[in-house]
Chains A and B, each alone.
Chain A
Amino acid sequence: MMAAQLNVGDRLQPVTHEVTDDKMVEFEKVVWDRGRNSHSDINVAKADGIQRTIASGQNQMAFLHEMMERNFGDAWVYGGKISARYIHPVYAGDHLTANGLVTEVSVVDGKPRVTLQIWCENQDGRKTSAGTASAGQPSDARSWITAAS
């Protein structure tokens, strides 16, 4: 079965996660340990001029990625683009939802391309990040999962 093709005005299936202190700390250590910083240590945060630790922007990016992976499959993973700006702090205890709205469907280099507004919002409906993303039309293929197993 072919994945449903997207049209202007379509909303992506959103993704929601709770941000916790433990995960903020661990996020700073996975893949590349950056040591204590304003995302993981209250004393460093205060020295950096803020009163609480805040989740890193890349933490939000991870949720936006998951939304794109779930909705686009290979079409995102092979050739996806994203541009996000972090516009409001994210704290431990926040519930973040990644969202996407299709704004354009075009043809680029002979291939369909879907452009979206993307954003994360917290439990109060306040946007914490915003930007754009693009990918080919959704694919059912999840070849990066198959390749890893």
Chain B
Amino acid sequence: MSEEAAISKVWESIPVGDDLGSLDYVLTAQMVADYRRVVDNPHAAYPTVAARHPANLFYRKYAAVMRVPNMGHDSEYFNPPVADKRITITGRIADKYIRRGNTYLIVEATAVDEDGRLIERSRLVGLAREVGKEAAHANIARKWGT
């Protein structure tokens, strides 16, 4: 099958710059404590690592049609979140490309707290998989032999 023929129509239809809207949540002291316990790091500064802001925003809009298994992450950290503050995340499709026959979506999310402090900006490198066409991790299984 040619590379061109294998490209998902859904992937083609998602525009770079697509607005993924916003979400907000309160990062409670319990959430912070739970994160620090599970990663064995009592002083972990960014529990938001486990919050997966880009993926959460992406799936709110596209869960029915597209999966984006996480192949990488690019993040920039500005101010660690403060427990019990409300965090608002906004997202967009920052880029898309084809590499070695695979389609990728770059999903960006920016987190700001209720006092206007910029927390972090993260980009998910997602291996785009159209729901119902191919198992989300099929490529990973082939590549890694899992």
Contacts and interface: CB of A to CB of B under 8 A. Distances in A.
Contacts of A84: 72-74
Interface in A5-53: 17, 23, 26-27, 29-32, 34, 38, 45, 47-52
Nearest to B135: A49
Given A31-B51, A79-B77, A66 B31 contact: no
Contacts of A92: none
Contacts, number: 135
Most buried by A among B50, B125, B144: B50
Contacts of B55: 34
B102 interface: no
Contacts of A61: 49, 73, 75
Interface residues of B, number: 45
Contact of A83 (B73, B140, B146): B73
A45 B141 CA distance: 10
A57 B71 contact: yes
Contacts of B39: 17, 23, 27, 59, 62-63, 66
A30 B39 CA distance: 10
Given A48-B136, A69-B43, A80 B77 contact: yes
B49 A147 contact: no
Interface in B103-146: 125, 134-138, 140-141, 144, 146
A57 B138 CA distance: 17
Contacts of B34: 26, 29-31
Contacts of A54: 146
A48 B72 CA distance: 18
Contacts of B125: 85
B72 A52 contact: no
B83 interface: yes
A45 B144 CA distance: 14
A30 B50 contact: yes
A56 B39 CA distance: 12
Contacts of B48: 31
A30 B144 CA distance: 27
B40 interface: yes
A58 B44 contact: no
Q: Which 5 A-B pairs have the closest CB atoms?
A: A49-B135, A49-B138, A85-B72, A62-B39, A48-B137
10 contacts: A51-B141, A51-B146, A57-B70, A58-B49, A59-B39, A61-B73, A65-B49, A76-B77, A78-B79, A144-B80
